[in-house]
């Protein structure tokens, strides 16, 4: 919702490399979402280490292993761009 009341919308936007407050705030929110995804990955690691096999599936492990990497790539090369829609899920 941070970008809804600014110039950002759901269409493809050019990457904003400026230091204006809107671009910086969108990048900050992207990094916060990355930290949340990393926390979810660590949670899955603890499930595996505790051998709670009833709570994890192969899809669960692959999802929580790959999403932090793809989110990091999106933030590194396109924070503030339309890649932010990746954080909807």
Place of tokens 């990393």: 38
Share of the chain above pLDDT 90, in %: 0
The residues that are catalytic are: 63
Task: Please report the pLDDT score of residue 17 as a whole number.
Answer: 74
1 versus 6: which is more confidently predicted?
6
12 versus 63: which is more confidently predicted?
63
Distance, in Å, from the CA atom of 89 to the CA atom of 64, rounded to the nearest integer, reads 12
Distance, in Å, from the CA atom of 23 to the CA atom of 33, rounded to the nearest integer, reads 16
| Domain positions in the chain | 21-79
Distance, in Å, from the CA atom of 64 to the CA atom of 55, rounded to the nearest integer, reads 13
Q: Is the pLDDT of residue 86 over 60?
A: no
Please write the tens of the pLDDT for every residue from 25-59. Answer: 777 877 888 888 888 888 888 888 888 878 788 88
Mean predicted confidence (pLDDT) in 58-67:
82
Distances (CA, A) of 46 to 5, 56, 64, 65: 39, 11, 12, 13
Distance, in Å, from the CA atom of 79 to the CA atom of 77, rounded to the nearest integer, reads 6
Q: Is the pLDDT of residue 3 over 80?
A: no
């Amino acid at each position: 919702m941070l970008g809804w009341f600014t110039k950002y919308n759901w269409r493809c936007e050019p990457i904003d490399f400026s230091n204006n407050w809107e671009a910086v705030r969108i990048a900050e929110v992207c990094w916060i979402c990355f930290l949340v995804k990393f926390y979810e990955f660590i949670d899955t690691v603890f499930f595996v280490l505790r051998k709670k096999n009833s709570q994890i599936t192969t899809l669960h492990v692959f999802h929580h292993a790959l999403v932090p990497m793809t989110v990091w790539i999106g933030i590194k090369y396109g924070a503030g761009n339309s890649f932010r829609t990746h954080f909807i899920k």
